[in-house]
Amino acid sequence: MRRDLFGDEHELFRSQFRRFAEKEIAPKVAVWNERGMSDRETWRRLGDEGFLGVSAPEAYGGAGGDFLYDAIVMEELSDLRAHGIMVSLHSNICRPYLETYGSEEQKQRYLPGTVTGEIILGIAMTEPGTGSDLANVQTRAIRDGDHYVLDGAKTFISNGQIGDLFVVVAKTDPQAVPPHDGISLLLVEAGTKGFVRGRKLDKLGLRGQDTSELFFQECRVPVSNLLGQEGRGFRMLMEKLQQERLCIAVASIASCRRTLLDTIDYVKERKAFGRSIASFQNTQFRLAELATEVEVGRAFVDRLLVSHVRGDDIVAEVSMAKWWTTELQKRLSSECLQLHGGYGFMREYPVCDDYADAAVQSIYAGTNEIMKVIISKRLGIA
Ligand SMILES: Cc1cc2nc3c(=O)[nH]c(=O)nc-3n(C[C@H](O)[C@H](O)[C@H](O)COP(=O)(O)OP(=O)(O)OC[C@H]3O[C@@H](n4cnc5c(N)ncnc54)[C@H](O)[C@@H]3O)c2cc1C
């Protein structure tokens, strides 16, 4: 079905990005998956070509485009299974904190480097003892003169090894009631004394990403690196989660499509009982159903993209899309693996990684159970 949300400029951008990604990213996917992380050269190349700053403000080196350009980058990277390079985390999840809440001095210092790819961003919310219950973070940032002394441990942090600058969630007032009123956001440079990178974690899927532990040991962060106001961190996080979850839904639908199309090719080729697998009515019905669900999901996500660009409050709808598309992705990759028979279980067939990569989609950026808590609250029943 023709999608009517993208204009000619968007489509031109898509073909430019696709050409770049096929040449400079696709050949590296297997290397990153083997090594467990992407490489700085590719980040710099993305920056050189302007792909990290499509929606960043022009005053700081960006192109000032709308979020649809970013959605195109997400779709094309998902289509190439280039999950190792977390462009959306960098450009659409982390950088908006700087763009919206950063002081002029912080913007001048950091934004241009995020556009060129010299500064790679990450966000450190989750801790070993708390993930969903964000208000319960134990990392502390206690004021000492013109510094905060940051102490604590974070885990599952994407870009944890390669990242240069992290938005860190910490309690500046551990006694605050309610607890989320004590939360602030700090910009922490990776070179700061007391900033320690821990293990790069061994994962089921997304093997090209450097998901890591981070530690802060009496890490002195200048007060000038406080993002926004002290005690407003939780609210800032809530305001930005709409976009973060929309990114997941966009990537999920694009991944579903890739897996589906590859599976259609496979069942046409593979033979059993002297016929193609595709000729069995079970195969046709399964793929017909999945193709229907992908179209339904994409129509919903496209609708949300338009609303998001317009600036609507669509927190509940984005939460619906996040849980629904990621559950679809998990089910679709499992069913497509089944249609591959034993070959689906072999890593040389992409559906094998698709199945493993899908598992996390319902967990990060807020679990699907938390999405349903949010929707229930908006329905007035929780
Ligand atoms: C690959 C990967 C990358 C990640 N990247 C980042 C990152 O860059 N930065 C970052 O800060 N974090 C990151 N995370 C962490 C991620 O956001 C958390 O794992 C997630 O929020 C869940 O927290 P948790 O793992 O502590 O699970 P828990 O909160 O312990 O949840 C365990 C289970 O309990 C359920 N549960 C919890 N509370 C409720 C409730 N109220 N009602 C119903 N069920 C509930 C959950 O849904 C889940 O099923 C990443 C995680 C992974 C796996």
The sign of the torsion formed by the CA atoms of 250, 252, 254, 257 equals: negative
pLDDT-above-70 percentage for the chain: 100
Nearest residue by C-alpha to atom 24 in ligand 1: 131
The pLDDT confidence band at residue 1, using thresholds 50, 70 and 90, is confident
The pLDDT confidence band at residue 255, using thresholds 50, 70 and 90, is very high
Q: Go through 262-291 and write b for each residue having 16 or more CB atoms within 10 A of its CB, e for each that does not.
A: bbbebbeeeeeeeeebbeeeebeebbeebb
Among the options 127, 244, 317, 335, which is catalytic? 244
Question: Pairing state of beta strands 212-222 and 147-157?
Answer: antiparallel
Residues spanned by the domain of 72: 8-119
Look at the chain and report how many structural domains it folds into: 3
Q: What is the pLDDT of residues 67-89, one digit of tens each?
A: 999 999 999 999 999 999 999 99
| Ligand 1 atom index nearest CA of 369 | 47
Ligand 1 mean position to 271 CA, how many Å?
A: 42
Mean pLDDT of 147-166: 98
The reply to whether 26 falls in a domain is yes
Which one of 169, 248, 364 would you pick to mutate in the ligand 1 pocket, going by the greatest count of ligand atoms within 8 A of its CB?
Answer: 364
Q: Are residues 217 and 88 in the same domain?
A: no
Q: How far apart are CA 358 and CA 332, in angstroms?
A: 9
Q: Are residues 274 and 371 in the same domain?
A: yes
User: At 274, phi and psi to the nearest 5?
Assistant: 75, 10
Which amino acids bring their CB within 6 angstroms of ligand 1? 122-126, 131-132, 156-158, 203, 206, 211, 360, 363-364, 366-367, 369-370, 373
Which of 176, 204, 231 is where one domain is finished? 231
Which of 119, 139, 174 is where one domain is finished? 119
| CATH number for 223 | 2.40.110.10
* Full-model pTM: 0.97
The sign of the torsion formed by the CA atoms of 260, 265, 270, 272 equals: positive
The 8 Å CB, 24+ separation contacts for 57-63 are 57/99, 57/111, 60/107, 60/108, 60/111, 60/112, 60/115, 61/111, 61/112, 61/115, 61/116, 62/111, 62/115
Which one of 87, 89, 126 would you pick to mutate in the ligand 1 pocket, going by the greatest count of ligand atoms within 8 A of its CB?
Answer: 126
Q: What is the pLDDT of residue 142?
A: 98
pLDDT at 165 over 90: yes
Q: CA 374 → CA 61, 160, 235, 368, 381, distances in Å?
A: 36, 28, 15, 10, 10
- DSSP-derived 3-state class of residue 57: coil
Tokens (6 digits) for 322: 């996040």
Q: Are residues 304 and 328 in the same domain?
A: yes
Average pLDDT over all residues of the chain = 98
Tokens (6 digits) for 134: 């964000």
Q: What is the pLDDT of residues 306-351, one digit of tens each?
A: 999 999 999 999 999 999 999 999 999 999 999 999 999 999 999 9
